[in-house]
Copies of this chain bind each other. A is one copy, B any other.
Amino acid sequence: MNGADRLCDGLLANGIDVCFANPGTSEMHFVAALDRKPAMRCVLGLFEGVVTGAADGYGRMAGKPAATLLHTGPGLANGLANLHNARRAHTPIVNVVGDHATYHLSYDAPLTSDIESLARPMSKWVGRVASSEAVGATVSEAVRAAVETPGIATLILPADCAWGAVEPAVIEPAAIHPPRAVDAGTVREVAEAMRAHRGRVGLVLAGKATRADALEVAGRIAAGFGARLFGEVLSARTERGRGRVPVERIPYPIDAALATLKDIDLLILVGGQEPVAFFAYPGKPSRLIPEGCPVLTLAEPAEDQRGALEALADELGIARSAAAIEVSPNADLGAPSGALTDEAISRIVATLLPEQAIVCDEGLTSGRSFFAHSQSVAPHDYLMIPGGAIGLGIPMATGAAIACPDRKVVSLQADGSGMYTVQGLWTQARERLDVVTVIYSNRAYAILRLEMQNVGAGHFGRNAERMLDIDDPALDWVSLARGMGVEAARAESCETFRDLFAAALRRRGPFLIEAVL
């Protein structure tokens, strides 16, 4: 056996049995090793952004890392934007990057580049395998790094470390510490501050604090103490729907975000960072909370967020049997008819959403109304792009479908951002994944048109139009999908859209609906 076999064994020993891959020549020994391990599911992406975005979607839903397989610096580079999203989502990924043989690097062959420099901004851990015999220890370290905090561990595998012989050995799983418990002092300090600001306290829930069980605890705090519960601007994964405690989403548009938080006097962070303005705007603040509002951290991303909420509830004297905040049922979503609008699509999708669907939302401006309409519909998971790097939606839906083969994935996708990693549709077809993609086809970078107005440019000339509109030529998403083996159809009315969406939900396998706005 060789170093590549050892790497596969190490991954499998740690329960990592899915590898999203786009290999090249320097990874051929790893491919040959994977070929000897039928327990590993290898999923090919036709572009590395598909690979890393799928690993993100998989990791969020599986609760454990996938491995990736990328080819040298440029292959890693192509995957970095979605690694950026995964980093912000705190998704565990063991990101394997093949490199030249150690002795070949000094010759500066064409594909040589500084992989570490490329990897560091998106990785919490970067390690280079030093020898074939070192593979076992390095993969353990990578797995531990990926799982414990959690985040992206980039493991660089030189070709000669992959092909060099090693002695067979039994591989032990890495020793993983469970999430750290929050210490009692922090809980007391937070509770004390909350009592001092009663009535004007907000909790920002992130990480595992947005799972149903933790939300239930937060809901008891909200009901028993009076705090407001916020989700992040772009959350990694929120369990929502009927019977679950809702969070208010902090809006993306700066003015709406400021208005949402204007009455908060104390902000408590549970598993995430302080929410700040997505971008800076002339004359507007970077922070979203009122000046002087203190921010306390109840639990870090690497800590036990649910446990921290339970301790906080106890500290605040809220009985474990107390009721969580009441969820008001959705207003009637109606039966939209006639010409399609963003709003109508959101209502129809929310109405028809099946139980335990996984909603991947990269609808951007078009998707915003979905959140408002879907709090009390069928229970579902809701995944966004926490890093704001567009081009995650299609790959994330792909990875989520592999993690949860028995659940329907609904991929709400803006057209402009969908084009970044459109190749992911092919992987959906190849793996027969149960994903319904809805393309909001507005033929513009609509979010940028709004942002141009925010910067005071009301009238657009030719150069601006040429950079903000994508209507010439119009993208034909039905052709694009079919070109990659995904069945597709176009809807221009609410009636057609409802029929297509309902039909897509009834069958298994990938389907794409181009919703023309």
CB within 8 Å for A483 and B472 given contacts A34-B463, A118-B118, A416-B46: no
A294 at the interface (CB under 8 A from B): no
Judge whether A121 and B73 touch: CB under 8 Å. Answer: yes
CB neighbours of A460 from chain B (8 A): 35
Q: How far is the CB of A408 from chain B (nearest CB, A)?
A: 21
Judge whether B78 and A387 touch: CB under 8 Å. Answer: no
A330 at the interface (CB under 8 A from B): no
CB neighbours of A80 from chain B (8 A): 74, 77-78, 80, 118
Judge whether A420 and B78 touch: CB under 8 Å. Answer: yes
A12 at the interface (CB under 8 A from B): no
A457 at the interface (CB under 8 A from B): yes
Judge whether A464 and B32 touch: CB under 8 Å. Answer: yes
A419 at the interface (CB under 8 A from B): yes
Judge whether B279 and A25 touch: CB under 8 Å. Answer: yes
CB within 8 Å for A280 and B159 given contacts A23-B467, A233-B110, A476-B483: yes
Q: How far is the CB of A16 from chain B (nearest CB, A)?
A: 15
A277 at the interface (CB under 8 A from B): yes
A26 at the interface (CB under 8 A from B): yes
Judge whether A110 and B278 touch: CB under 8 Å. Answer: yes
CB neighbours of A35 from chain B (8 A): 457, 460-464
Chain A 77-115 per-residue mask, 1 if CB under 8 angstroms from chain B, else 0: 110110011001000000000001101100111110110
Most buried by B among A26, A43, A118, A429: A118
Judge whether A466 and B120 touch: CB under 8 Å. Answer: no
Judge whether B78 and A447 touch: CB under 8 Å. Answer: no
CB neighbours of A117 from chain B (8 A): 117-118, 120-121
The contact sample of 9 A-B pairs, CB cut-off 8 A, is A36-B461, A44-B467, A49-B78, A74-B389, A78-B81, A111-B387, A426-B473, A475-B485, A476-B484
- Residues on A close to B: CB < 8 A? 21, 23-26, 28-29, 31-32, 34-38, 40, 42-44, 46-47, 49, 73-75, 77-78, 80-81, 84-85, 88, 100-101, 103-104, 107-111, 113-114, 117-118, 120-122, 159-160, 163, 233-234, 273-274, 276-280, 282, 286-287, 386-389, 391, 416, 419-420, 422-423, 426, 429-430, 447-448, 451-452, 454-457, 460-464, 466-468, 470, 472-480, 482-485
* Extra pairs beyond A28-B455, A113-B121 (19, CB < 8 Å): A25-B279, A28-B457, A29-B455, A31-B464, A32-B455, A32-B464, A35-B457, A35-B460, A36-B461, A44-B470, A74-B80, A78-B80, A103-B280, A107-B276, A110-B388, A117-B117, A117-B118, A476-B484, A479-B480
